[in-house]
Amino acid sequence: MYIPFAASLASAILPFFSPTPATPTAEPRTLSFRPVHAHTHAFSDRSPPTLLFHNATSPQSFLFSNSIASDESPALTDVQDAVRPLSIRTRHMTIRRPRLRPPSMLSWAYAAQRKRNPYLPFSTNSSAEQWIAPDYNDADGDWEDVEVEAPDMTDRQTLITIAKMTSNAYVLPESAEWWPVGGWNATMPVGWEKDADGLRGHVFADPTNSTVIISLKGTSAGVLGAGGPTAKNDKYNDNLLFSCCCARVDFSWSTVCDCFAGGWKCGQTCLEDALVADSVYATVGTNLYNNVSYMYPNANIWLAGHSLGGSLAALIALSFGAPAIGIEAPGERLAAQRLHLPLPPGMPSEKTGITHIYHTADPIPMGVCTGTYSGCYAAGFALESKCHTGQTILYDTVTVKGWAVDVRTHRIGEIIDKVLADPWPGAEGQSVADNKAESSSWLPWGRKGPGKNKDKDKDGDDDDDDGWEKHGGVPRAQSEDDCVDCYRWEFGDWDKDKQ
């Protein structure tokens, strides 16, 4: 949501957050990042979600509410001296954006509602409802193709660094599963207490604050090997975003919306309206992006997340035109269609700036964690969608490593330790024969926690290889053009009383 005077407030209390924009260069380079904030949302039945930021290097926290920045927000500590930076290689890519930036992720849905019913009255006077979306089919209309600096998704060390950023969103620094990043304050962040249930993660920035990364936590649930206070909100939003029809799996399930119309029929308009009205994480994700963009008005903002966090990162990025990386994320294209976000053919997959990374033994991004005997069914998750926006880097762990399809391979630690750790056989520029020795030494899935004292080299990564093998070996990214979600279902607008 818009924050009326947040830009001027940021300039007053956060002067070092407004760097002089760097001169664009087409040459790839390596950027170093350090943590600057932990972020979370606090939920209440009596007030809108409240966004909280916590300093990475001091016990200070400050608050941004749903619509306005607090006048008492303290100035943040400069963290230029953080040790052991996280290194990411970059490349330039073209992203298609609307010329007039939408105020909210939900602005696209509001615009579609108004196009469907021009006489629909405004429920509020907010700019989110008044924004007009560009024509999806008119490439020469209110769109612009912008060249931006983005992470180099062909570089394996870049993928590992981003995966570690998303992994730390689940845990606190004293945890054995925390990946050391240096310069981090161990004080308990506000909103990260054991009973806190909000969407959370971290914010990273390069030394000039010209590139900022927002990381988002994924689902915390017993079926995935970890519980936690966010599990209730996570499950509700998972079932709303990624089920075919309101989590109507069978007669025994409690649905998250009332759109089921009998048989294999589901109300399309009802689904779209439910997603706008009830998806809390869509609203707070927009709030987070808008606040970070106001705090860093000249920065290039990237998003990254694992599982639910990866899907939210992609939806936010698709709404505003930002680079995003989703790791083992459920298919979010179904939710994007229901929110009327820009999709092909009007929005080419290669111009979304979105890259998904997942492997074939993980049933969640593959869309096969379904059925009575699945772990998702047992835990009450209806993760039925499988199609992703943007482009996908797919690791065939079933064929190459002999893994069985198992929901326990969904853990972010498995991706870091067992999938990204070595160059992938047959990846672009590398033959399978070159890696037979490496592939024969790979272990089956199983958590290998990083530990707090894992040896690192001077660059902060744990790969001792030099040259191409250290950075290459990533499968080619491809779009999921032929993917189809919910093929058994028929979506339309029916009168349920006549069924």
Q: What is the pLDDT of residues 446-468, one digit of tens each?
A: 333 344 444 444 444 444 444 44
The pLDDT assigned to 47 comes to 52
Q: Which parts of the chain register pLDDT below 70? A: 1-26, 42-51, 53-85, 119-128, 139-140, 171-198, 219-234, 426-470, 495-499
The pLDDT assigned to 376 comes to 87
The pLDDT assigned to 15 comes to 36
- Is 150 in contact with 211 (CB distance < 8 Å)? no
* Catalytic residue check, 307: yes
- Is 453 in contact with 211 (CB distance < 8 Å)? no
Cα–Cα dist 201/217, whole Å: 5
Cα–Cα dist 151/355, whole Å: 10
Nearest CA-CA partner of 184 in 352, 292, 54, 314: 54
Cα–Cα dist 74/311, whole Å: 32
307, 311, 319, 385: the active-site residue:
307
Ramachandran class of 453: left when φ > 0, alpha when ψ lies in -120 to 50, beta otherwise? alpha
Cα–Cα dist 229/40, whole Å: 13
The pLDDT assigned to 405 comes to 94
Structure pTM? 0.80
